[in-house]
Chains A and B, each alone.
Chain A
Amino acid sequence: MLKGAIEYAPSTFEERGAAVAFTTPLLSQTRVRCGERSKLEVLIPSLSQGMGIYVVAWKSVPDMVSMTMHDRYLHDLIVKEEACSPYEIRRATLRAARRGLAGPKAAQAARRALDEDDEQGTLTHYLLILSILKAVGLESPEMLKAGIDTDEGQRLTRQLMTRAAESLRMDATLLYARLADIASVTAPVGLAHSPRPGRLTRGLNDLKGFRDGMIDWARDVPSDAAPVAEFCAEVAQHTIAIGEKVLGDFHRRIDAIGPLMRDWDDAFIRVRTQAARMAWLLDGWSHITGAWEVAQAEDRQQQAATVNDLFRILPLLPRRESSRDFVEDSKQVKMAHRRSVRMLEDWRTGQMDIDAIRRIEAVKARAP
């Protein structure tokens, strides 16, 4: 059941696992991954302030840790759906929060997030149609004027898309199918010229704000947690640098929609891989940036405690993704970190820290 503490130095994102927004403090942002024989495993960091990571069979978690009702539900849902990618885990998390088990505010935020996902999907689909038409020289002011959600607009769109398919020398059905594939891959990232940035692009922007916030805080608040905040800023910066490169490359490929449609097999795989990489890069950060925003209303002692909590769950880049060994660097910071870190709930007695749970739920209500 419990494999014992291991040295945590994952090579790939998949090995690192996807962060799960549990509300049980001990399990908050623990990572789930597909282990041997596709069995789900959970990685629990710093159990009782230890240095290693514990690998636990996913199904055994409820027997080991006293979980909140929200987490029992989410746990069952993840088992049922065999979810282990950031996208799947996020959808499961939103569905659990939508049930109200993390409180009414988190439920409202989850409903909003699910609605926004749908709206973003529709918007991306629409913008991609315009891109395709533009690529084959079929821009139509009449279609734009009618709007895609009217009968007339849809008739004009179908007409133009049929001509676009001819121009691209493919069947219209195939064009629509490929369009749907690109839209589903692109919606979370968003298009470069979209009036509303995609969820992952917004996440990258939030991460920049977090990096700046950490730098300012480390400078303005001299404390044991200052070097921890500096390290958080460095990890964030490194992630941002990679993220910007991936995002730029992704947008360039999507912008060249004609070649993408023509050279489909290779080009689409590349686009999908980049979108997935963005999702993995930013996985776990939305809780961190949200927690830091929540902490802005608190005093500096509480902020220092938050910095230490965030360090524990920092999404360190896997070895294959970065030239810098952040796992090794984090050990240096850990010495300062261990002096000021708050104890988690006692996992052996199963006592719940309702204040800690509330703080996690407050983040969920802000950044579902």
Chain B
Amino acid sequence: MSGAADGRGGGDRLPGLESRLFDIPEDKFIEVVRLLERVRDHPEVRQTFAAIRPRLVQVRPNRRPTLKRVLCMPFEDVLESFSGLDVPVGRIERRVIDPVWRLVTECGDRALIDRLDRQVQETAPGNLNALRNIGRRLWPMAAQAIQGAVGGVGEPDTGGQPQWRVLQGDEEMRRQLLDVAAFLEIGLTVEALKDALAPKPLAALDDLHVDAIEQAAQAVARQSAGLVYHLLLVAASRMANPADLLTVLNDLDFGKARREQPAIFAQLSGLVVTNLEERSARLESKDGGKDWGEGGGTGHSAGPGGAAAFAPEEAIAIAERLVAGIDTTSAAMDVLADPAYRERLDAVKVAVRTMVSGTVLDTAPAGILTAVPAPAANGRPAPVDEDAQAAAEDHARALRRCEGLAGALGLREPLKDTLVSMEIGLMARAQALLADYSKAAGDPDDAETAEMNLFYALRLLELVAGPAKADRLRTAIMAATGEFAEE
């Protein structure tokens, strides 16, 4: 990893390595990650880790355990994701991790930290029980250290304390540090709940999940009623649609926190709405989400010149998640009868509708129709462009998936109009190719190319209008090519 002696060679080599790390097989990738971890303190290696984070998130190799990583375990589910799209409810920003670590190491029990650090180094990657045992001693101490350091902060005359060097007067940072302290305080219960709410993300809550949340809430309530809210944040973050938690919340018995239950529900509901607003606000970000932090987006998100923020299918997937969240939240919050929430949810819906219209409907002519080539003037068929075809098929699928959202977003008519216009446009282009087919039929290569163009147009028509309507074109193509003529 050291590269050339002058240091420049190393700098040249690692970026090359980064790109290769996206292509190599998974087992090799894990092997390389293990090797890099041995020298992870090297700045270039840290940079490499940042660059390959999307694949790390995807492959999730058992990373070499560190005490810092153990410290983060109780709040890892609420850490903002690297993809930048799905914001966890009540999220903790990643920029908080280093200050948390510094506070704990500066204000915490140094001897205990050193002892636990040695134990972590002897622990095999993936030995979760051993790491939790270490956490059992680390988390309460760390929670106390953070609360002691920033819990009472607010006076400028404490500026000489380490906490102020860390916070630099950042009130949002302080709030998040206190949230981290709360998660650490209930660390063991959180870890047990994570096992019960696995695998993440949970598509739906079943009875066993609900029982586990209730028992964990009761256990935390015995510790402190105020901490139940934080436990529920973890539960919400482990769900595909965090708003689903709201639908079961009022049926849970919080034990000693029973009195606080309505307040917790209101607090969590508000946070779910804020979370939906935050996610919809990111949709409107014209620069493709570069403000989401490192590694944001999936590669489709930033169009040239910041035009289309998402690929059509990606846009539909995001819209589906948000609409599901809006519907569930809306139903669950009827009990609060607060018109302000309704308005805020409607505003989220408008943002989603705008995104879907702009990314899927308005761009359909350019995204779908142009994949079918016009007949060339020289009589020879246009070459087949399979990349353009693949992109057009993705767009057509997104259009069809839009049918499931159109009602909720008030897009039924615009979608219907778009589908009809695509059907007419594709049919017209296919007919033009068909009319031109006889010119290519004499040359086997030209005939094959012309037939491929026709079959690809047929496929787009099938995706947009369904097999029944496409079948008429298929019959016409087969009649023109004479492939199954004897029938």
Chain A residues within CB distance 8 Å of chain B: 66-69, 72-73, 76-77, 79-80, 99-101, 103-105, 107-108, 221, 299-301, 350, 352, 354-355, 358
- Interface residue from A69, A100, A107 paired with B467 (Cβ < 8 Å): A69
Q: What residue of chain B has the Cβ atom nearest to residue A68's Cβ?
A: B467
B203 touches A76 (CB 8 A): no
B452 touches A99 (CB 8 A): yes
- Interface presence of B397 (CB below 8 A): yes
Q: List 10 A-B contacts (CB under 8 A).
A: A68-B462, A69-B455, A76-B478, A76-B487, A99-B451, A100-B384, A100-B389, A104-B386, A104-B390, A104-B393
Contact flag A101-B455 (CB < 8 Å), given A69-B467, A80-B484, A80-B486: yes
Q: Which residue of A lies closest to B394 (CB)?
A: A358
> Could you list 19 further interchain pairs (A-B, Cβ under 8 angstroms) beyond the known A100-B452, A301-B203, A355-B401?
A66-B468, A69-B455, A69-B459, A69-B462, A69-B467, A72-B474, A73-B474, A76-B478, A76-B484, A76-B487, A100-B389, A101-B455, A101-B458, A101-B459, A103-B459, A104-B387, A104-B390, A104-B456, A358-B397
Cβ–Cβ contact A108 & B474, under 8 A: no
B20 CB to closest chain A CB (Å) equals 20
- Which of A79, A80, A99 has the largest number of chain B CB atoms within 10 A? A99
Give the complex CA separation of A354 and B464 in angstroms: 11
Q: In the bound complex, do residue A69 and residue B386 qualify as a contact, i.e. CB atoms below 8 Å apart?
A: no
B199 CB-CB contact with A under 8 Å: yes
CA–CA, A70 to B201, complex, Å?
35
C-beta contact mask, B439-474 vs A, less than 8 Å → 1, else 0? 000000000000110011011001100111011001
Q: Which of A105, A299, A352, A355 contacts B201 (CB 8 A)?
A: A299
Residues of A within 8 A of B470 (CB): 69
Across-interface contacts of A355 in B (CB, < 8 A) = 401
Q: Compute how far the CA of A170 lies from the CA of B370 in the bound complex, rounded to whole angstroms.
A: 63
A352 to B468 CA separation, bound complex (whole angstroms) = 11
Q: How far is the CB of B25 from chain A (nearest CB, A)?
A: 12
Whole-angstrom distance between the Cβ of A253 and the nearest chain B Cβ:
36
Secondary structure of the A contact surface, majority rule: helix
CB pair B486 A100 closer than 8 Å: no
**Contact between chains at A69 and B471 (CB < 8 Å):** yes
In the complex formed, the residue of A with least CB distance to B453 is: A100
Q: Is B400 engaged at the interface, CB distance under 8 Å to the other chain? A: yes
The 8 A CB mask of B396-420 against A (1 = contact, 0 = none) is 0100110000000000000000000
Q: How far is the CB of A60 from the nearest CB of chain B, in Å?
A: 15
CB neighbours (8 Å) of A66 from chain B are 467-468
CB distance from B47 to the nearest CB of A (A): 27
Interface centre among A66, A68, A354 (most CB of B within 10 A): A354
- Can you list the 5 inter-chain pairs with the closest CB atoms, starting with the nearest? A104-B386, A300-B199, A100-B455, A104-B390, A76-B484
* Bound form: Cα–Cα A275–B389 in Å: 39
Residue contact A354 to B389, C-beta cutoff 8 Å: no
- CB within 8 Å of A: which of B100-154? none
Do B390 and A103 have beta carbons less than 8 Å apart? yes
Q: How far is the CB of B353 from chain A (nearest CB, A)?
A: 22
**Complex interface: chain B residues within 8 A of A300 (CB):** 199
Question: In the complex, A104→B388 CA distance in Å?
Answer: 10
Closest to A301 in B: B203
Most buried by A among B203, B400, B456: B456
Q: A100-B389, A300-B199 are in contact. Are A352 and B466 (CB under 8 A)?
A: yes
Q: Which residue of B199, B203, B400 is within 8 Å of A354 (Cβ)?
A: B400
Q: Shortest distance in angstroms between A114's beta carbon and chain B's nearest beta carbon?
A: 13
The chain A residue with its CB closest to the CB of B456 is A100
In the complex, what distance in Å separates the CA atom of A299 from the CA atom of B60? 13
- Residues of B contacting A99 in the complex (Cβ-Cβ under 8 angstroms): 451-452, 455
Cβ–Cβ contact A354 & B201, under 8 A: no
CA distance A301 to B198 in the complex (A): 11
With A105-B390, A354-B463: A80-B487 Cβ-Cβ less than 8 Å: yes
Closest Cβ–Cβ distance, residue B177 to chain A (whole Å): 32
Instruction: Say whether A100 contacts B459, CB under 8 Å.
Output: yes
- Give the CA-CA distance A301 to B459 in the complex, in Å: 30
Are A69 and B389 in contact, CB atoms less than 8 angstroms apart?
no
Q: Contact partner of A103 among B387, B393, B401, B471, CB < 8 A?
A: B393
Cβ distance A98 to chain B, nearest Cβ, rounded Å:
9
Q: Kindly report which residue of chain A lies nearest to residue B463, judged by CB atoms.
A: A354
Q: How far is the CA of A352 from the CA of B463 in the complex (A)?
A: 10
CA distance A76 to B484 in the complex (A): 7
Of all chain B residues, the one with the shortest Cβ separation from A300 is B199
Bound complex: CA A261 to CA B354 (Å): 74
Q: Is the CB of B487 within 8 A of A350?
A: no
**Complex Cα gap A104–B201 (Å):** 32
Q: Is the CB of B487 within 8 A of A69?
A: no
Could you mark each residue 179-222 of chain B with 1 if its beta carbon is under 8 Å from any beta carbon of chain A, else 0? Answer: 00000000000000000000101010000000000000000000
Q: Which residues on B sit within 8 Å (CB–CB) of A77? A: 484
Q: Compute how far the CA of A100 lies from the CA of B392 in the bound complex, rounded to whole angstroms.
A: 14
User: Which chain B residues in 12-38 approach chain A with CB under 8 Å?
Assistant: none
Q: List chain A residues, Cβ under 8 A from B201.
A: 299
Q: Is the CB of A72 within 8 A of B471?
A: yes
Task: List B contacts of A72 (CB < 8 A).
Answer: 467, 471, 474
In the bound assembly, the distance between CA atoms of A49 and B55 in angstroms comes to 39
Nearest chain A residue, comparing its CB with the CB of B201: A299
A residues near B478, Cβ cutoff 8 Å: 76
Q: Which residues of B contact A68 (CB under 8 A)?
A: 462, 467
How far does the Cβ of B451 sit from chain A's closest Cβ, in whole Å? 7
Q: When the two chains form their complex, are residues A67 and B467 in contact, meaning their CB atoms are under 8 A apart?
A: yes
The smallest C-beta distance from B462 to any residue of chain A, in angstroms, reads 5
Instruction: Kindly list chain B residues whose C-beta atoms are within 8 Å of the C-beta of A100.
Output: 384, 386, 389, 452, 455-456, 459
B463 partner residues in chain A, CB cutoff 8 A: 354
Q: How far is the CA of A103 from the CA of B397 in the complex (A)?
A: 12
Residue of B390, B462, B484 with highest tally of chain A CB at under 10 A: B462
Query: What CA separation (Å) do A69 and B389 show in the bound complex?
Result: 16
Q: How far is the CA of A69 from the CA of B470 in the complex (A)?
A: 8
Cα distance A69–B477 in the bound complex, in angstroms: 12
Whole-angstrom distance between the Cβ of B241 and the nearest chain A Cβ: 13
Point out the residues of chain A lying under 8 angstroms from B390, CB to CB.
Answer: 103-105
How many Å lie between the Cα of A69 and that of B393 in the bound state? 14
Which of B386, B474, B484 contacts A107 (CB under 8 A)?
B386
Which of A69, A299, A352 is close to B474, meaning CB atoms less than 8 Å apart?
A69
- Flag if A69 contacts B458 (CB, 8 Å): yes
Q: How far is the CA of A78 from the CA of B63 in the complex (A)?
A: 52
Q: With a CB–CB cut-off of 8 A, which chain B residues contact A104? A: 386-387, 389-390, 393, 456
